[in-house]
Amino acid sequence: MAATTTDTRELCSALERRLTLLDARVDSAHADSSEKLGPKLKTTIHSLPVELLNLIFELAHTDWLMFALHPEMYSMQPMALRSRSWRGLMKLMYQFPHTPMAVCKLWRDVVTSNPKFWTRAVIFADTKNPLAALGNLRNLLRYSRDLPVVVAVVRKSYNIMYDKEEGMNVSLILEVLLQNLHRFQDMYFHLNQSSSLPSILHFIQRNRPATLSRLALHCDIDDGENLDMCNFNSVPMIKNNRSMLTTLKIDGRNLMSICENPTLWSLVLAHLKCLTLERLQLNEHSERNLSLTSTIEFLSKIPSLEVLTIRDVVFEVSPRVYGVQSPAITVSDLILEDLSDGVVKSIFDHATLNPTYMLMRNVPIDELPQIPQPAYLELSEIGTDQDLEDFLCFWDGEVLAIRSCMGFDDNLLGMFQAEIAPPYHVMLSPSLRELHIQDCPNFSAAALRSMIQIRKEFVERADNKDLDLRYISEIFVCGMGPILNEEDATWFRRNMKTFVWSTIQADGGSCHLDQDSCIPFTV
């Protein structure tokens, strides 16, 4: 952001100098030969010099980059939210440079002469005119000269069950992309069905230039194998290749092919830091399914892996061989989303995981074979049939975030304030210092205050001072939640290092507390 501000200031200064010179020339012309001037000429967009136009477009481009987020940022949203925002995003993506380019030939020449205006490409896989889309892509590659390009192959609409033309359009687009693969640093596919996605082999084999650093192969539904006709029997051809990919989002079908040779692929993808595995359903009639053992073997051999996300994937699980040490997957961040009961239990049973941050969203948490001990734990959309109390009894971390969990109530808060019988002199999660609560309407502000107050008094006891215990000093409450009265607000404000409260009610009301106030206001 600082760099962007500096660049903008420099452009503004250059623009101001240019305008000053123009004003001086005009004043001089009026002073020297005012009698020779005829009727005042009408100023139009054609009157602006090329240098001034380019400066204006530089400013517009800088401003556009701040608001035109990469489509991947939007695809991470829930599908309902994405469907409302996607059309607006696509319009924003096309505002620059296409809008100024369409004004006139002069503006088009100025825009096309600056290669950095052409480093983001959006191609629609559901276009009615794929040949025109390919022409636009070729033009963008020409206008961007030798600068690295970010390309997103997406859809105009995702409100569809199946698109029989999607795969054919993607194959046409892919042909152009692969011919210019050395130009891309970021390639992002977000399609409807898995069969339309290209094989990851396309981006690794044939000794491709190692310039691609981020690749996403994402789909909304698993409808079967990738149908781009890439021959995975040629995998030995890549054994001496080393991809420079640092971020990879891969669908289950491509992952299945990788896990047929996990050792080789862990070498090819040795630079990976962020990996997302998603979208695969178990098929009882298929000749092959995704092996959990091979997947864990692959993950455990990636030396630089830091962030691992597993989302909506079903594995074929073999019985664990007891007496053999489980492979360790050494990641700092672990994200598990939309997984079934058997998948979650099998992951923790077959692998050793010790992340610093862990998010569990819409997954079962009962009776896990082991509970990781991340310093930062986030639980989201955990069903009421799951035992939150039992899970949290075995966790001791510093930061806890509870989001959209209807089971978070006063009984759970009471568990956190209960003192374990002497001689232990401890409470559950004695290291807990920060609590985030979002969209949890079934607890009360009074119970939250009571829990924090009792834990604070427990830590401050004279006989506990040498135990290096912590109390909760930072509270963040937002979304659906209870009303906060003035007495509780005053206590929180005086006793908490950080306290934020902004809740809404099911009836449309809301309760907010200003940063420097002790008096909440309701609407």
Beta strands in 252-356 (DSSP E): 274-280, 307-313, 328-329, 333-337, 352-353
- Please name the amino acid found at residue 361: R
The answer to whether residues 143 and 110 touch, using CB atoms and an 8 Å cutoff, is no
Give the tens place of pLDDT for each residue, 57-114: 989 888 887 776 665 665 555 555 555 666 666 667 767 888 888 888 888 999 999 9
Rounded CA gap, 178 and 172, in Å? 10
pLDDT tens-place values along the chain, 523 residues long: 444 445 555 655 654 555 455 455 545 544 454 445 455 556 676 777 888 888 989 898 888 877 766 656 655 555 555 556 666 666 677 678 888 888 888 889 999 999 999 988 888 899 889 898 899 899 999 999 989 998 989 888 888 889 999 999 999 999 999 999 989 999 999 999 999 999 998 888 655 666 899 999 999 999 988 877 676 566 667 777 888 999 999 999 999 989 989 999 999 999 999 999 999 987 766 667 899 999 999 999 999 999 999 999 999 988 887 778 899 999 999 999 999 988 999 999 999 999 999 999 999 999 888 888 999 999 999 999 999 988 998 899 999 999 999 999 999 999 988 877 655 556 788 889 999 999 999 999 999 999 999 999 988 888 877 777 889 999 999 999 999 999 999 999 999 999 999 999 888 888 888 777 777 767 5
Rounded CA gap, 473 and 398, in Å? 11
The answer to whether residues 449 and 413 touch, using CB atoms and an 8 Å cutoff, is no
Tell me the CA distances in angstroms from 74 to 83, 90, 154, one per residue in order: 10, 11, 11
Q: And the tokens for 122? A: 């959006």
Rounded CA gap, 205 and 239, in Å? 9
Scan for tokens 């009301």, then name that residue: 509
How large is the C-alpha radius of gyration of the chain? 29
Q: pTM to 2 decimals? A: 0.85
Rounded CA gap, 439 and 437, in Å? 7
The answer to whether residues 306 and 333 touch, using CB atoms and an 8 Å cutoff, is yes
Domains and CATH numbers, the chain: 375-523 (3.80.10)
Q: Is the peptide bond before 319 cis (omega within 30 degrees of 0)?
A: no
State the distance between the two ends of the chain, measured CA to CA, in whole angstroms: 35
Rounded CA gap, 241 and 233, in Å? 16
For β-strands 510-512 and 498-504, DSSP reports them as antiparallel
Rounded CA gap, 360 and 388, in Å? 12
For β-strands 510-512 and 521-522, DSSP reports them as antiparallel
Rounded CA gap, 503 and 493, in Å? 16
The answer to whether residues 282 and 314 touch, using CB atoms and an 8 Å cutoff, is yes
DSSP character at residue 427: B
DSSP character at residue 276: E
DSSP 362-420: S---TT-S-----SEEEEES--TTS-HHHHHHT---SEEEEES-TT-SHHHHHHHHPBP
Scan for tokens 């084999």, then name that residue: 205
Give phi and psi for 164, each to the nearest 5.
Answer: -70, -20
- Length of the chain (residues): 523
CA 243 to chain centre: 22
